[in-house]
Amino acid sequence: MEPIRVEVHDLMQDGYVYYLTEPAGKNFDPEFKPELTPKQMLALGVFGGKYMTDCRDEFPADWFARAKLCREEHRAELNYFLVNASKPLSYWRAKGWIYPEDPRGWFQWYCRYWLGRRCPDDARQIKRWKAMKRHVAQLRKHSAPGDLSARRRQRQALLHWAYDSRKI
């Protein structure tokens, strides 16, 4: 595959350039097996609809066809489980979890990874994704199978990390 150049112009990055070196949705690290695509996540409702409202030019238009978004504010009612399961970006920055090339955090990294970008931060982000498995185990231990009303914040948090907590 010939690398595809992507230049970003949004509210958080202007002129950032990256290259897609893998086909979209293919050739993931063997340890990284997300259950949801970015498009599915946006349609389900994640991050209170506030995430990526200014990024439409960077990502495929069909990702936004059914996306639940709100430019003005974070709205928990737009999340699939109708709860806020997010920390503010300032919290993530203070923890040192934000990679400079992905100033919006893990989901931005995942969207770009899904499209075919590979970068030096991939191993760290995949390790963080794998660490979320502990929440899957807690859901299985502390809720009845299919009871989507149980542990809704934890379920929503898992959706933010591309785990389909509706199946637990």
Cα 46 to chain centroid, rounded: 8
In a structure prediction context, what are the per-residue pLDDT tens digits for the chain, which is 168 residues long?
A: 899 999 999 999 999 999 999 999 999 999 999 999 999 999 999 999 988 899 999 999 999 999 999 998 989 999 999 999 988 888 989 998 899 999 999 999 999 999 999 999 999 999 999 999 999 999 999 999 889 999 999 999 999 999 999 998
- Nearest-angstrom CA–CA distance, 157 and 134: 12
Phi, psi values for residue 19, rounded to 5°: -125, 135
CB-based burial label for 168 (10 Å; 0-12, 13-18, 19+): buried
Q: Could you give the C-alpha distances from 159 to 21, 96, 111, 123, 163, in angstroms and in order?
A: 27, 22, 14, 20, 5
Which H or E run contains 107?
A: helix 106-115
